[in-house]
Amino acid sequence: MTVAKARLAAALVVALGLIGNAQAHKPSYTQGGHGTVDEAFPVADPDVSIVLYHQVTCDSPYLWMAFPIRPPYDLFVQLGVPEIDRLSDYRPSMAILAPGLPEAPGGLPFDVPEGYGALVIDTDDVTEPEPFFEPFTQSSSWIVHEETYTLDEEATGYIVAWHPERETGKLWVAVGTVEQFGPDDAGNFEDWFVNTQTFHEINEYAPETEPVEGVCEEPKVEEPAPVDPVDPVEPVDPMDPGSAPVTPETGTQGDDAGCSGTSGGMPMAATLALFALVAVRRRRSLLP
């Protein structure tokens, strides 16, 4: 039996033992998506324990999750970082957005929905994050924040995670405490195992070259295009036919001034450059 096959078999045994016990998160992966309020990852039941893994890049700086609030509701949430040496000092931020929360502070790098308040959690002061071993996928992380928040107004709530200094890296957000696995999940286990080990860069799933993290530029705010000044129009004296304005088409005065036909001006041309982000995930087979 190969090492990879033995590790998978051992993990399967652990996973089978975990079903029905509150020790594992059901994983999902943003894959560069779920970066805006309109594309928020839908959490059907925030009581069920799930985790959403996200790689923070300059093109995907935010993770958004949406969940239903049926008050009074206690939301359990965790913010974590995979246990990778280069991310040992990585400290992301997280915000919970919902009606009834305090007014959102200024300076957030995203728009808060109208009528919503915000709880913002910064973790830059966390010096000793809590180690966490996820037996279901045999992966280790650091938990930089864990808390339960009470929400009192019925609505769709949001969780946003990002890095306040625009540093690239990796993070995850988990919600819920109720483990819920069923027979249909058995077919997903191998993909979950491989994808999560790849995210955590474990053993044979580590990249061939160690990634170098960086700081993204601040978003550029486009200045409005300058508008050419308009020449003032002299008032027309209706009692003086000689005061009719000069038409741009003929440069003459007359009774037909201002309605002598359509202008032959050039139509405005617009060019839109659409960039494509190609995410290539190296995926190795567990079996020889």
Could you report the per-residue pLDDT of 127-145, keeping only the tens digit for each?
999 999 998 899 999 999 9
Cα–Cα distance, 41 to 34 (Å, whole number): 6
Is 199's pLDDT higher than 90?
Answer: yes
Is 168's pLDDT higher than 80?
Answer: yes
Is 253's pLDDT higher than 60?
Answer: no
Is 258's pLDDT higher than 80?
Answer: no
Cα–Cα distance, 79 to 174 (Å, whole number): 7
Domain extents for the chain? 3-205
Is 276's pLDDT higher than 70?
Answer: no
pLDDT category, 260, cuts 50, 70, 90? very low
pTM: 0.72
Is 114's pLDDT higher than 80?
Answer: yes
Cα–Cα distance, 83 to 131 (Å, whole number): 8
The most confident of the ranges 35-39, 181-185, 246-250 is 35-39
Look up the CATH architecture of domain 3-205. Sandwich (2.60)
pLDDT category, 233, cuts 50, 70, 90? very low
Element (H, E) at 277: none
Cα–Cα distance, 192 to 125 (Å, whole number): 32
163, 85 contact by CB (below 8 A): no
pLDDT at 23: 54
For Cα atoms 285, 287, 288, give the angle at the middle one, nearest 5 degrees.
100
pLDDT category, 219, cuts 50, 70, 90? confident
pLDDT at 283: 39
